[in-house]
Amino acid sequence: LMSELRIDPICGRHVYIAEERAGRPFDYAEGAAAEAHEIEERSAYRPDCPFCPGNEAATPAAVAVVTDDAGQWRVRVVPNKYPAVSMAAGGDAAIRAAADSHFRPAIGVQEVIIESPSHVARFDALSLDQTTTVLATYRDRLRYWAADGRLRYGLVFKNSGFAAGASLEHVHSQIVSFPDIPPVAQAEFDGAMRYSASYGRCLFCDLAQRERTEGARVVGSADGYLAFCAYAGRQPYETWILPDQHQARFDELPDGELTRMALVLQDVLGRLSAVNERQGHRPAYNLILHSDSFDGAQGSAYHWHWELVPRTTHLAGLEWGAGAFINPVSPERAARDLREAIVPPPPRQSAAEGTAAR
């Protein structure tokens, strides 16, 4: 079986699909194997967890809170206690100047979204209602920083599991807002703008159409979204999720769309969990939201999407040195595994949520 070089259609990244490198998809993943022992479902409350109710003083004061009818918080947004970027690094002039120099103050905003009052580790263990509230919180924080006017780009990401960089297991995500466009986003914008200039259409809309027609990489297609394994996925089971309707910015999503989005995310994460659990592992992954810049500069050329990147292989010399990745599971095989996975329906309310003990 020959390896195959694939070029990512958006940003031109090189990926070698090299199936003979792995006997079975997750068996070589020491990180994932270790994790299976490390994280077990614990009680819904841990006294030493800074994200659990009752320990609010252990985090900076909340900048946004969603509460239930009884006044108990359901989602809290707090500034990151150890941020890489901050608005204290300079005034408006410094923020404008930041885009023009190699030596810059580290300006930006880094917020943590605590996604449940219960001490659960898994995003896909949250109820549909809770997941919808979390997505609304992402959207509203992006809207907030877009309206602020001083920053240009907002990135939402989740590090789930130790191998994906999570330091705390209590379910959470982060939003980092930057004064300029970060390199990964810029590469996608450049690819999308070039395509739009050549063909007069959205690269992502056309990509989704091709994936639907070809079918081999499709994981699911329902509720107004398409989920498919990336043609040049960097890691085994890398999956992208796009809205069918062309839309540049996630923060344009109306309330009515959020529940459908939550359903699709839960389904795809549940499938990833099912494929992993068959092999005794809890998946570690990064879930990344890519959206247009706050000023909408890409116009109709860009199309927001999720990138779900399971973290099972270590990045080594080829990745660091050449920026090329080796993926030992073909996206076609990954998509088949994910399609065939049996996913239990999401809880209407997770057991943990109902007993948010103090």
> Looking at beta carbons only, is 119 or 152 nearer to Zn ion?
119
Q: Select the residue interacting with Zn ion from 51, 145, 153, 294 (CB under 5 A).
A: 51
Cβ proximity of 127 and 353 under 8 Å: yes
Site string for Zn ion, 246-265 (x = CB under 5 A): x-------------------
Half-sphere exposure of 101 (CA within 13 A, CB side): 11
d(CA 44, CA 84) in angstroms, rounded, equals: 30
| Residue of 49, 63, 106, 193 interacting with Zn ion (CB under 5 A) | 49
CB of 249 to Zn ion, least distance (A): 12
Q: For residue 125, which phi and psi values (nearest 5 degrees)?
A: -90, -10
Shortest approach of Zn ion to residue 91 CB, angstroms? 32
The smaller minimum CB distance to Zn ion, of residues 26 and 240, is found at 240
Residue whose CB is less far from Zn ion, 105 or 243: 243
Smallest gap, in angstroms, from Cβ of residue 86 to Zn ion? Answer: 25
List residues bridging with 240 in a β-sheet.
228, 307
Cα dihedral: 112, 100, 96, 139 (round 10) = -30
Phi, psi of 224, deg, nearest 5: 85, 10
Q: Which is nearer to Zn ion, 107 or 268 (CB)?
A: 268
Compute the distance between CA of residue 64 and CA of residue 69 in angstroms, rounded to an integer: 16
Q: Which stretch binds Zn ion (CB under 5 A): 72-80, 222-230, 239-247, 311-319?
A: 239-247
> Least distance to Zn ion from the beta carbon of 270, Å?
22
- Residue 306's DSSP bridge partners are 241, 289
Task: Report CA Rg, the chain.
Answer: 20
- Among 18, 205, 297, 343, interactor with Zn ion by CB under 5 A: 205
Which residues in 123-162 contact Zn ion (CB under 5 A)? none
78 close to 62: Cβ distance less than 8 angstroms: yes
Torsion angle (degrees, nearest 10) of CA 69, 73, 74, 80: 160
Smallest distance from Zn ion to CB 246, Å = 4
Residue linked to tokens 């890519």: 290
Residues 298 to 327 in contact with Zn ion, rule: CB under 5 A: 303
Q: Which is nearer to Zn ion, 98 or 112 (CB)?
A: 112
**Residues 59-118, interacting with Zn ion (CB under 5 A):** none
The sign of the dihedral angle between the CA atoms of 76, 79, 81, 82 is positive
Binding mask 157-196 for Zn ion (x = CB under 5 A): -------------x--------------------------
Per rule CB under 5 A, is residue 122 in the interface with Zn ion? no
Query: What's the order of all strands across the beta sheet hosting 324-327?
Result: 4-7, 14-17, 324-327
Residue 146, CA distances (Å) to 135, 143, 180, 189 in order: 17, 5, 12, 18
Beta carbon of residue 99, minimum distance to Zn ion (angstroms, whole number): 22
Is 297 a binding residue for Zn ion by CB under 5 A? The answer is: no
Q: How far is the CB of 119 from Zn ion (least distance, A)?
A: 3
Size of the site for Zn ion (CB under 5 A): 12
Nearest approach, Cβ of residue 285 and Zn ion (Å)? 15
Give the footprint of Zn ion on this chain (CB under 5 A): 46, 49, 51-52, 119, 170, 202, 204-205, 246, 290, 303
